[in-house]
Structure 1
Amino acid sequence: MRTLSRVLVALAAIVATGTVSTPAHAIANGDGVPDGTYEFAVKLTDIGIPTADGGKRNSSCSGGLISPHWVLTAGHCFKDENDKRVSRTVADKTIATIGRADLKGKAGVTANVVEVRQHGSADVALARLDKAITGITPLKLNRRKPVDGQRLRLVGFGLTSGTAKRTASRLQTGQFEVTSVAKVELGVEGAAPRKTTSACPHDSGGPYFTDGKPAVVVAVVSRGPRCPHSGADTSTRVDAIAPWILSVVGADLKPKPSPPPSRAPQKQPQKVAQAPVSEPTSPLLWIAAIPLVLLVGALLVWTLRPRKGIHRRR
Structure 2
Amino acid sequence: MRLRALLAAAVLTTATAPAALAAPGIAHGTDVPAGQFGFVTKLSMTKIPRPDGSTYSSYCTGSLIAPGWVLTTGHCFHDANRNRVSGKVPYPTTATLGLVDEATESGVARKVTEVVQANENDVALIKLDTPVTTVQPLKVTHAAPKVGRQLTLAGWGSLTGTDPKPASRMQQGTVAVAKVEPTTLGVRGAAPEITTSACTYDSGAPYFTETELVAVEATGPGCPHAGIETTSRVDILAAWITKTTA
In the alignment, the residues of structure 1 paired with residue 145 and residue 32 of structure 2 have an alpha-carbon distance, to the nearest angstrom, of 25
CA contact (8 A) 2:23 2:166 kept: no
Q: Which residue of structure 1 aligns with residue 226 of structure 2?
A: 230
* Higher alpha-carbon Rg: 1
CA contact (8 A) 1:189 1:233 kept: yes
Q: Which residue of structure 2 aligns with residue 273 of structure 1?
A: none
Q: Which residue of structure 2 aligns with residue 90 of structure 1?
A: 90
**Are 1:109 and 2:105 an aligned pair?**
no
- Is the alpha carbon distance of 1:66 and 1:240 closer, same or farther for their aligned partners in structure 2, counting shifts above 3 Å? same
CA contact (8 A) 1:50 1:90 kept: no
In the alignment, the residues of structure 1 paired with residue 188 and residue 42 of structure 2 have an alpha-carbon distance, to the nearest angstrom, of 23
In the alignment, the residues of structure 2 paired with residue 107 and residue 32 of structure 1 have an alpha-carbon distance, to the nearest angstrom, of 17
1:1-314 matches, cutoff 5 A? 25-88=24-87, 89-91=89-91, 93-211=92-210, 215-249=211-245, 251=246
- Give TM-score scaled by structure 2 length: 0.88
Structure 1 vs Structure 2 CA RMSD: 1.3
Deviations 1:139-159 (A, max 9, x none): 001011100100100111011
How many residue pairs get aligned? The number is 224
Deviates more, 1:79-88 or 1:217-226: 79-88
**Structure 1: segments with no counterpart, 5+ residues:** 1-22, 252-314
Relative contact order, higher structure (CA 8 A, sep 6+): 2
**Structure 2: segments with no counterpart, 5+ residues:** 1-21
Letter in 2 for 1:248: T
In the alignment, the residues of structure 2 paired with residue 81 and residue 104 of structure 1 have an alpha-carbon distance, to the nearest angstrom, of 33
The structure with more strand, counted as a fraction of residues: 2
Deviations 1:197-251 (A, max 9, x none): 000011000000002xxx31000100100000002100011101111111101x2
- Give TM-score scaled by structure 1 length: 0.69
Letter in 1 for 2:116: R
In the alignment, the residues of structure 2 paired with residue 176 and residue 49 of structure 1 have an alpha-carbon distance, to the nearest angstrom, of 32
Deviations 1:101-138 (A, max 9, x none): 11223332100000000002410000000001012110
The structure with more helix, counted as a fraction of residues: 1
